[in-house]
Amino acid sequence: MFGAIGRAFRTPDLRNKLLFTLGIIVLFRLGSFIPAPGIDYANVQQCVSNPQLNSGAFGMINLFSGGALLKLSIFALGIMPYITASIITQLLRVVIPRFEALHKEGASGQAKLTQYTRYMTIGLAVLNATTLVTTVRTGALFGNVEGCENIIVRDEWWAQLIIVLTLTAGTALIMWLGEQITERGVGNGMSLLIFTSVAAGFPTAFGSILKSKGPDIFAIVCLVGLLVVALVVFVEQSQRRIPVQYAKRMVGRRMFGGTSTYIPIKVNQAGVIPVIFASSILYLPQLISQFGNPESGWVQWINTYLARGDHPIYMAVYAGLTIFFAFFYVAITFNPEEVADNMKKYGGFIPGIRAGKPTEDYLRFVLNRITAPGSLYLAFVAMIPLIALVLVDANQDFPFGGTSILIVVGVGLETVKQIDSQMQQRHYEGLLR
């Protein structure tokens, strides 16, 4: 393994790509510690370390920003606006024919969709930055803890406008850095930045568990973590391969076709998106309740049943939403009718299945059968931090589970595969054996 890494750094062009990627990652992490203008950084540090802090409604954004949200740095919004814009663009393909037509146009259409995603990212960043400034002014960002409402030094409108513009520019810069990694580095830039943000919280989480729970619980957490990582790797690599045979056909004087291939359908076809959707939906009631009267009945009901991760109703709703969004997202991203039509157009067929509508029905049947265990797996992984909260009271510090472990393992596997494929172009042995 170490010899393979050494060969990678001895290859000039691959070494330059790796060093460029690492440099962008260091720059990204550095921006997470630079406070935005007009922010009382000393007061922010006190509020972040306050044991009464309750930032559950902002936990997802804080996770994807690598902790920069609660520090109110220039990269406070992180990559979350781009993720949201990408998901919205994919969903709009179902309701806007223009988006679906661009998706089918190939590289030129994808470039246009990417441009729309960038514009939407900037718009969402302005909206998120305005909301963040509002929550900071009211003290809701830090759970209305006393003394945490005076974070912004100046209360003039232009001072708040500068903060909004700075946070928006930070999101645009992160988007540009991710695209630079994709073009000139190794791996998918946006995915690597998300990976960096999530992995940055692991040392703090391990140290907190060791300090508060002792070495025995820490050893158990590490053992459970290894088992969870092994499970995630096994499931993420699992797929159902549907064989496809292409008939021979003459085009001019040349013979084409006659080859055998397969359609890979992963067990976890939806990836981490269902967990993000479910978490976001459950965070909305908590966010709305922070602006309501604490004595109101609906606010108390939300704080009792939907704000506590150890409550059975919260767990049931979380698992149910994860399973629902797994089926929903797979139904949007994988179109059996389109796949069956393309196979029929190029003379392909599944052995034993007639082309056309029977192929479409067969693909939909297999997809539903594969998605069912995949959705249960996602729900189980998402519930691990909540189970840890009940057993060892380690919800906020438990690093193995939910969105974090899915992102770390998924992005790590994909990046290692890309490095391995580039090494195999230059050596007989790649990074993996």
For the chain, which domains are there? 1-185 (1.10.3370.10), 205-432 (1.10.3370.10)
Given a contact cutoff of 8 angstroms between Cβ atoms, the answer to whether 271 and 333 are in contact is: no
* CA 275 to mean position of chain CA atoms: 9
Q: Which tens digits make up the pLDDT trace of 212-242?
A: 777 887 888 888 888 888 888 898 888 888 8
| Pairing of β 348-349 and β 239-246 | antiparallel
Q: Are 384 and 401 in contact (CB under 8 A)?
A: yes
Bridge partner residues of 241 (DSSP): 264
Query: What amino acid is encoded at 320 in this protein?
Result: G
CB atoms under 10 Å from CB of 131, counted, come to 13
Residues in CB range of 217: below 8 A, 6 or more apart: 209, 392, 394
Q: How far apart are CA 370 and CA 364, in angstroms?
A: 10
Distance, CA of 403 to chain centre: 7
Contacts made by residues 138-145, CB under 8 angstroms, sequence distance 24+:
138/291, 140/290, 140/291, 141/55, 141/58, 141/70, 142/47, 142/48, 142/50, 142/53, 142/54, 142/55, 142/70, 143/52, 143/53, 143/54, 143/55, 143/290, 144/290, 145/47, 145/50, 145/52, 145/53
Cα–Cα dist 355/157, whole Å: 64
Look up residue 147 and give its two tokens: 């003394």
> What pLDDT is stored for residue 143 in this prediction?
63
pLDDT beneath 50, residues of the chain:
51-57, 395
Give dist(CA 29, CA 19) in Å, integer.
15
In sequence order, which residues have a C-beta less than 8 Å from that of residue 363 and are 6 or more positions away? 242, 263, 336, 339, 340
Q: What is the pLDDT of residue 54?
A: 43
- Name the DSSP letter for residue 266: E
Inter-CA distances, 172 with 69, 188, 191, 381, Å: 16, 17, 16, 32
SS3 state of residue 298: helix
Instruction: Give pLDDT, residue 55.
Output: 45
Of 65, 80, 61, 56, nearest to 290 by C-alpha is 56
